[in-house]
Amino acid sequence: MRVIDLKWTHLAEGYRTLQALQMKLEAEFGRAVQVGHKQKHKKELSEWQRKRRIFFALLGLAVFSVIALCAAAFMVREAACLLAYWAFVVLLILIVTGVALRAYIVEMVRGRPALAPTQPTAELLARRWWESLAPAEMVIEKGGDRGEVDFLARLSQRLSDEYLAVRGLLTSATVANDTDVLVVGPSGIWIFEVKHWRGKIVKQDGVWKQIQSQRGRKRVEERIVEQAPDDQWLRQAQEVVKTLQRRLPKDALPAGLDPADLVQGGVVFTHPKAVIVKENIRGHTAAYGLAEPWVERLAQAAPAAGFTLEARLCVLDALFEWAALNERKVVKVMSAQAEAERLYHLTAEELRSYVASLVGKDVS
């Protein structure tokens, strides 16, 4: 799963530009990199063969020395003890050297350099582009943020790079209300209201409560939650649908597919000590559950026909653009399209130098 920073604009256009630049980069450097790798492998193989010949020559000389000393001891009986002693010393030195240099010996015997598979240059550019879109760090400003970060980490472990995630997306212009975690994947748009609550969680008479025992005490503490998380989710889902219906390009989704058909999700309780008893939750207005079941549900959801990666990026573009218009903080926005072009020039220059180093030429 890829986490996208809220500062980026023109994501869909940037993706289209990236695809075009990938083809261009592969055409310019793909063949040259392969040839360079083969030449580098040829040099490494030649150097290994040279070292191997020297190694076996020295090994043969050492073995010959021991044999010569043993033969001399047999023939020259007056100095047999002395020659046998030296033969033993030389043999001992060879054994100690062999143990100390075992890795080197194995390399000389079986360490023939293999031709490493070359990574397509197009993949190098794509990896850099996606990495640049990720947030520098996951900031935790308050206790509840821990749940959002933990939930994103679980999703990242389970979901492929086809899924795009956003944290803290502004969804309402009238109140300071944001979506804790939003995931746009092949199966649709998943909105999650994340609560890092511990203890027993119930909803009775329209009121959510946290019930937990105090450590080292017998009394039970009950905390009433003023803002119902299911109602929060419902408002966020309605705002997201409204924004997409107004701002999403007409050709972004297949004909007949409305954004409302794609929105899913609910309330996620992420604390490891959260306890949910379904019989104690009545009258909820949104789906709810622990983190792990939500991760599995999202991973196993069937894909929506025609909801391509480019369409998902169009969804994020519309939501990011609207959020930037209503953001109360100063946010420095950046173009994903311009970033793709910048990374292309940077990667092309590096590949030019890399190919030149492989073939042993100076870069003009």
**pLDDT tens digits for 271-289?**
998 998 888 888 889 999 9
Q: Which residues of the chain have pLDDT under 50?
A: 362-364
Residue 135 is encoded by which pair of tokens?
């947030």
Alpha carbons within 13 A on the beta-carbon side of 305: 4
Decide if 360 is inside a domain. no
Final residue belonging to a domain, choices 62, 87, 110: 110
Give the pLDDT score at 318: 95
Give the pLDDT score at 175: 62
Decide if 194 is inside a domain. yes
Are both 192 and 256 inside the same structural domain?
yes
Give the pLDDT score at 160: 95
Final residue belonging to a domain, choices 81, 110, 139: 110
Residue numbers of the domain that contains 210: 2-27+120-351
Give the pLDDT score at 216: 53
Among residues 325, 308, 324, 343, the alpha carbon closest in space to that of 12 is found at 308
Decide if 154 is inside a domain. yes
Give the pLDDT score at 214: 65
Give the pLDDT score at 364: 41
Decide if 359 is inside a domain. no
Give the pLDDT score at 86: 65
Give the pLDDT score at 362: 45
Are both 191 and 305 inside the same structural domain?
yes
Query: Could you report the per-residue pLDDT of 67-100, keeping only the tens digit for each?
Result: 776 776 667 666 667 666 666 777 777 777 767 6
Give the pLDDT score at 92: 76
Are both 205 and 313 inside the same structural domain?
yes
Tally of structural domains, the chain: 2
Decide if 364 is inside a domain. no
Q: How far apart are CA 314 and CA 249, in angstroms?
A: 8
Are both 49 and 189 inside the same structural domain?
no
CA distances from 271 to 103, 144, 149, 218, 309 (A): 49, 10, 12, 22, 32
Alpha carbons within 13 A on the beta-carbon side of 144: 11
Decide if 318 is inside a domain. yes
Are both 301 and 225 inside the same structural domain?
yes
Among residues 157, 249, 154, the alpha carbon closest in space to that of 194 is found at 154
Helix (H, G, I), strand (E, B) or coil at 12: helix
Decide if 361 is inside a domain. no
Decide if 93 is inside a domain. yes
Are both 176 and 282 inside the same structural domain?
yes
Are both 300 and 254 inside the same structural domain?
yes
Final residue belonging to a domain, choices 68, 90, 110: 110
pTM: 0.77
Are both 182 and 53 inside the same structural domain?
no
Are both 52 and 139 inside the same structural domain?
no
Are both 104 and 150 inside the same structural domain?
no
Are both 202 and 168 inside the same structural domain?
yes
CA distances from 1 to 84, 137, 153, 159, 191 (A): 70, 16, 9, 5, 15
Are both 196 and 98 inside the same structural domain?
no
